[in-house]
Amino acid sequence: MKTFMIERYGDKADVQAGEMPDPQVGSDDVLVRIHAASINPLDLKLRDGAFKSVLPYRLPLVLGNDLAGVVVEVGAAVTRFAVGDEVYARPDKDRIGTFAELIAVHQDDVAIKPATLTMAQAASLPLVALTSWQALVERAQVRPGQKVLIHAGAGGVGTIAIQLAKQLGAHVATTASTAKLGLVKELGADVVVDYKQQAFETVLDGYDVVLDTLGGETLEKSLRVLKPGGKVISIAGPPDAAFARELGANAIVRQLMNALSFKIRRSAKRRDVTYSFLFMKASGDQLRELTPLVETGKIRPVVDSVFPFDQTPQALEYVEKGLAKAGKVVVAMP
């Protein structure tokens, strides 16, 4: 099968087209012919080796972390799916590789594609929708009337997180550039801070939850807008020991993670708030929870552009250079 893969960690020049054997289908797997996959910042981090100490992939590695497609084969123990089903999924972290013609995915990580969406639209959702769900529903347990700040509201995670937070009954603030203010308001944001004109930490206060998608100074400043007992959940900040434990990492890696996040955790504790790092997990069940919200239009995907599959390296570069105006970039099979 045709793929886009890396044979060594590095930069954009290391993402190459290549042929790989068709996947082996386990008893609990579905084999999916991929119609579309989307680009995520995670793909760039994996390409560069940012997680190689905790996610020791065997090279060559096919990149790609979410998909939409059609089931073409099912394993002997599969009960949820049949050949011909249109599905979408974020494969487990140990079984990524959606920049390919085919992929074998455990049935627990797959869901029937929302009937109202095209393949490209469906492919844009799994990773960012699951990230939003796990941050806001699982970890923050957002309740009606709570105040939630979502950074980079026009980004892939931001566009979905705003909509989900509103469905949870939250008062939602977000940050965006001047050109994207209209979009994030349309998605449901109650308060929009134009980060080119204002410092969000000077105009927002008393928030229960911050979903940080940017890290760095933005993460540090986010602590200031939380009320006592508030939570900042980051997908871009330093990993913590809890993340290392989730991965089953050894004691040395756990200590390293603890050290990396020590400064932000100490700052959070001084303000009587908490910091945690989120690395989303695959879940077909959670996608099934999200599907009705999508099919009824309560959550809609935002797709910036669609590249043909043979231009996957150009799509990665487009995302890396920050050229996407809003939402996700997708690659589609011919």
> For residue 280, which amino acid is it?
M
Domain identity same for 101 and 174: no
| Residue 293 maps to a domain | no
Contacts (Cβ under 8 Å, ≥6 apart) of 270 = none
| Residue 209 maps to a domain | yes
As given in the structure block, the two tokens for residue 238 are 């330093």
| Residue 296 maps to a domain | no
Domain identity same for 140 and 259: yes
Domain identity same for 132 and 215: yes
| Residue 291 maps to a domain | no
As given in the structure block, the two tokens for residue 190 are 């109650």
- Nearest CA to 217 among 175, 188, 183? 175
**Residue 329 half-sphere exposure, CB side, CA atoms within 13 Å?**
23
| Residue 243 maps to a domain | yes
| Residue 82 maps to a domain | yes
Place of tokens 């001084």: 270
Q: Which domain holds residue 326?
A: 2-125+301-332
For the chain, how far is it from start to end, CA to CA, in angstroms?
A: 14
| Residue 32 maps to a domain | yes
What per-residue confidence (pLDDT) applies to 83? 98
Q: Is 83 exposed, middle or buried (0-12, 13-18, 19+ CB in 10 A)?
A: exposed
> For residue 202, which amino acid is it?
T
As given in the structure block, the two tokens for residue 223 are 């602590």
How far, in Å, CA of 128 to CA of 131, rounded? Answer: 5
Domain identity same for 109 and 6: yes
Full pLDDT tens readout for the chain, 334 residues: 999 999 999 877 789 999 999 999 999 999 999 999 999 999 999 999 988 877 889 999 999 999 999 999 999 999 999 999 999 999 999 999 999 999 999 999 999 999 999 999 999 999 999 999 999 999 999 999 999 999 999 999 999 999 999 999 999 999 999 999 999 999 999 999 999 999 999 999 999 999 999 999 999 999 999 999 999 999 999 988 788 778 777 787 778 888 889 999 999 999 999 999 999 999 999 999 999 999 999 999 999 999 999 999 999 999 999 999 999 999 999 8
What per-residue confidence (pLDDT) applies to 243? 83
What per-residue confidence (pLDDT) applies to 182? 97
As given in the structure block, the two tokens for residue 159 are 């566009």
- Nearest CA to 32 among 110, 108, 126, 124? 110
Give the CATH number for residue 254: 3.40.50.720
Domain identity same for 37 and 110: yes
Domain identity same for 150 and 247: yes
| Residue 140 maps to a domain | yes
What per-residue confidence (pLDDT) applies to 250? 77
Domain identity same for 241 and 132: yes
What three-state secondary structure class fits 184?
helix
- Nearest CA to 18 among 8, 32, 4? 4
In angstroms, the Cα distances linking 147 to 140, 190, 230 are 11, 10, 10
As given in the structure block, the two tokens for residue 276 are 């945690």
As given in the structure block, the two tokens for residue 101 are 């013609």
Supply the DSSP symbol for 223: G
Give the CATH number for residue 311: 3.90.180.10
What kind and span of H or E run contains 126?
helix 126-133
Domain identity same for 140 and 67: no
Domain identity same for 273 and 131: yes
What per-residue confidence (pLDDT) applies to 255? 84
Domain identity same for 154 and 39: no
Domain identity same for 62 and 163: no
As given in the structure block, the two tokens for residue 188 are 């449901």
Give me the number of domains the chain comprises. 2
What per-residue confidence (pLDDT) applies to 51? 82
Cα-to-chain-centroid distance, residue 49: 18
Angle between helical axes of 156-167 and 126-133 (0-180°, round to 10): 50
Domain identity same for 257 and 214: yes
- Nearest CA to 314 among 305, 327, 325? 305
Place of tokens 């793929």: 3
What per-residue confidence (pLDDT) applies to 137? 98
